[in-house]
Amino acid sequence: MANLGYIGLGAMGSLMADRLMANGHQVTGYNRTKSKADWLVKKGMTLADSPKAVAQAADVIFVMVTNSPALEAVANGADGLLAGLSPGKIVIDMSTVGPATSRAIATKVREKGADMVDAPVSGSIVTLQQGKLSVMVGGTKATFDKVKPILDALGPKVTHVGENGLALVMKIATNLSLAVQMLAFSEGVLLAEKSGIPRATAVDVLMHSVIASPMVVYRGPFVLQMPEEAWFNVNMMQKDMMLALELGRQVDVPLPTTAVTNEFLTTARAMGLVEEDFATIFKVLANMAGVRP
């Protein structure tokens, strides 16, 4: 049993904290909106008043927040994560942020005598519930070896990809394909539909064809009925696409399909679809094709 902390108990973070507790670990958590953590408290989690308090209470501290500004907000300041660190502690940041931001915070963590790895995941709420998340880890090999037994509780694939920041590079490289695949899938569905094939039939055929990646299997049905609550909304997906485009510019890798798909996400925002799952780019393309979404 490990003494863990978890900062950021959103849709994914809360389920991860729950899974860690189910594996016998003690968890102290923090979330900006405390009420969202009530169900975890009932299951045995201790709720702290600040990121600092979590860092003081735990030996290994997970962080999962929305973006770079949010990570900097929970890390810095009098009540921030950094203020509660002491030698020997480990921070596992699971947020998808810019590699440079993560590396800068890792440097501050090490100044406290602690260490940090970036450990974003590939998967969704469904894959997490099934215990099938893939975890990428960037940091020293020694620290990776210490935290791997804990991360194994989240999924069967935990991979050390290199130094700090490189797991985030791998996550960005992975996530750009999600939206690109969704757009390509939408093109296929609409081409079939406008040619006279019922949408549900087209979706079923494609989901059982050679293009049926896990993303298509999970999100293909969304073109028939969007979920009431987004798994990963338009803003969150576009944040990752922008990170990819910026990284591509930095390392001179052209990302043409990423750039085009990003414009569909911008159009989704303009259409008022920002809170919907990013699969709503089907609606954008459907409107362009003159088809009722």
What CA–CA distance (Å, rounded) separates 174 from 167? 10
Terminal-to-terminal C-alpha distance of the chain = 49
Residue 115 contacts residue 90 (beta carbons within 8 Å): yes
SS3 136: strand
What CA–CA distance (Å, rounded) separates 17 from 12? 9
Catalytic residue among 171, 194, 239, 283: 171
Q: Who's near 190: CB < 8 A, 6+ residues apart?
A: 282, 285, 286, 289, 291
Residue 20 contacts residue 149 (beta carbons within 8 Å): no
- Indicate if 171 belongs to the active site: yes
What CA–CA distance (Å, rounded) separates 144 from 163? 10
What CA–CA distance (Å, rounded) separates 144 from 90? 10
Q: Residue 241 is encoded by which pair of tokens? A: 């696409």
What CA–CA distance (Å, rounded) separates 40 from 241? 32
> Which letter does DSSP use for residue 133 in this model?
-
> Which letter does DSSP use for residue 156 in this model?
S
Residue 86 contacts residue 112 (beta carbons within 8 Å): yes
Residues labelled as active-site residues: 171
